[in-house]
Structure 1
Amino acid sequence: MEHDGATARPDDERPLPGEESPLDDPRVSLAAQLRAAAQKAGIGQVAPGEVPTASALLSAIGGVRGLVESIVPGLGFVVVFTITGQLLPSVLIPVGLAVLFVVARAVQRGPVAQALAGVLGIALSAGIALLSGRAEGNFVPGVVINAISLLAMVVSIAVRWPLVGIIVGLLTNEGGAWRQDRAKRRVLVLVTWLWAGLFAARLAVQLPLLLSGQITALATLKLLMGVPLYAGLLWVTWLLVRTVYRGRASGDDVVDAQGTVS
């Protein structure tokens, strides 16, 4: 049966040739696009009101393999610089290790985006160090990233949109509905402050070492304050968010798929 010249089809069919996907429509909100990206990555496939599982969080940081790929290049710098005291091998060997990780993933036909991003970051640090002729240059990008991250966390709290809350809202398909729940809002603000504290602690420890040129100590502490603290705080974040979300879900309020409290 024809309706006004259009061909009827089930809603769940793929778009006809020439039709655009909803995500290609510029009118689609940024939040919807980010949520779709999170779901595609496998870390947002949870029901509304739920929180990601521990395995999903591990996947979000690249799994065990991703952790290894994050740690080994930095460890390589510490070992080589401690033994040789030479800039060139100390910055090139980590780049080589990162490239090997990308090649290994490509050969196994695995996802290479995270490993490739690691190569670019390590190569940028190495380039700054080589151009400046000083090993301290290898750590400048990390200090800048921590400073920007700290600023982003503090500003997001100041404007009452804590960054962790935005991320959790995307992953739980809840959007900004958590802002109407005092318990959720307090926990998400608290967790955002914890992340701000992590970035502030890194700056407080690493910046003086960078300015004083204590390279071995800087490289070692950067390694220790990197993935281990990141993974630990991510776990604390998950525990706090899970507690408040489960507590609200077991109460009298019911949150529907649109995040409306009834």
Structure 2
Amino acid sequence: MTVANGSEPKDTRRPTPPEDHVVLPDAAKAGPDSPSVSELAAGYAEKAGLHRNSAGHVDMLKSAGGVQGIAESILPGLVFLVAFTITRDLTPSLIAALATAAVFTVVRLIQRRPLTQALAGVVGVGISAWLANTTGKAEDFYVLGFFTNIAYIAGMVLSIVLKWPVAGLLFGFVRNEGLEWRKDAERLRAYSLGTWIVVAVLALRLVVQVPLYFMGEPGLTALATTRLLMGAPLYILGLWVAWLVTKPATQPSKPSSSAD
């Protein structure tokens, strides 16, 4: 179409938002509560360790702590298992696990990186070592993880009941939805389902690992192995599935109009 002066008209149509990227309405952006809502969603996601990449999608590896973070969560338990398998002595095995966790803290100090994850790891390994040393049972090194899983399950189920599903609080930040998704029944259901998926991952850990724990020392190797496999790898898989399930519908592009 041309106009009277022969110049080409400007295309004033807004570009279609990229797939899996929700743009808030102008009213939501301009509202007086928008800054606090955005800060709340962003702060919750960041505290939970959720990150987004340059494309605006969730960065699965970084959200799991990156390569170093995954190593911090895996190696102390692995070192304990190897040391106990070789020595059959609980004390040096616990010391080896604690030393491994402490090394990661020192590494973060040298790198001048946040110590939160490393210190949490040291505390977790310390409590696990204390439990195992107190009872004299090697399998009790892994019992703290059961209670941690139960606490997360209870918190996530409660968030669904209260209609504040954790998946929405996390993914809503990554998708620039803030907390606006709570006003959409379909989005609320999607994020509730995504949260149930994460709950299922945590519950699966308990279903598999608790029977191995009650086997005592004969089940220790299997317990430790499943603990490693169902740790960060399963968490990343569950996070990815939840991300796909909660994916918003792509907004269709408007058909172009032309004049005769």
Instruction: Tell me the TM-score normalised to structure 1 length.
Output: 0.72
- State the 1:81 CA deviation: 2.0
- State the 1:125 CA deviation: 0.7
The residue number in structure 2 matching 1:117 is 120
Alignment of 1:1-262 (within 5 A): 32-33=39-40, 35-36=42-43, 38=45, 52-55=56-59, 57-172=60-175, 174-213=177-216, 214-241=219-246, 243-244=247-248, 247-250=249-252
- State the 1:251 CA deviation: 6.9
Asked if structure 1 preserves the Cα contact closer than 8 Å seen for 2:49 and 2:65, the reply is no
Distance 1:211 1:251, change over 3 A: farther
- State the 1:228 CA deviation: 1.0
Count how many residue pairs are aligned between Structure 1 and Structure 2: 218
Matches of 1:74 and 1:30, distance apart in 2: 39
Distance 1:222 1:43, change over 3 A: closer
Aligned alpha-carbon RMSD (Å)? 3.0
Matches of 1:154 and 1:39, distance apart in 2: 21
Matches of 1:59 and 1:155, distance apart in 2: 27
The AA in structure 1 aligned to 2:65 is G
The AA in structure 1 aligned to 2:228 is L
Instruction: Tell me the TM-score normalised to structure 2 length.
Output: 0.72
- State the 1:201 CA deviation: 0.9
The AA in structure 2 aligned to 1:53 is H
Matches of 2:45 and 2:98, distance apart in 1: 29
Asked if structure 2 preserves the Cα contact closer than 8 Å seen for 1:165 and 1:189, the reply is yes
**Rg comparison, structure with higher value:** 2
Matches of 2:62 and 2:178, distance apart in 1: 22
Asked if structure 1 preserves the Cα contact closer than 8 Å seen for 2:45 and 2:169, the reply is no
Matches of 1:150 and 1:248, distance apart in 2: 31
After superposing the two structures, state which structure 1 stretch, 80-89 or 215-224, moved more.
80-89
- State the 1:203 CA deviation: 1.0
Distance 1:251 1:162, change over 3 A: farther
- State the 1:229 CA deviation: 0.3
- State the 1:230 CA deviation: 0.7
Matches of 2:95 and 2:83, distance apart in 1: 10
Where in structure 1 are there 5+ consecutive unaligned residues? 1-27, 253-262
Matches of 1:54 and 1:205, distance apart in 2: 28
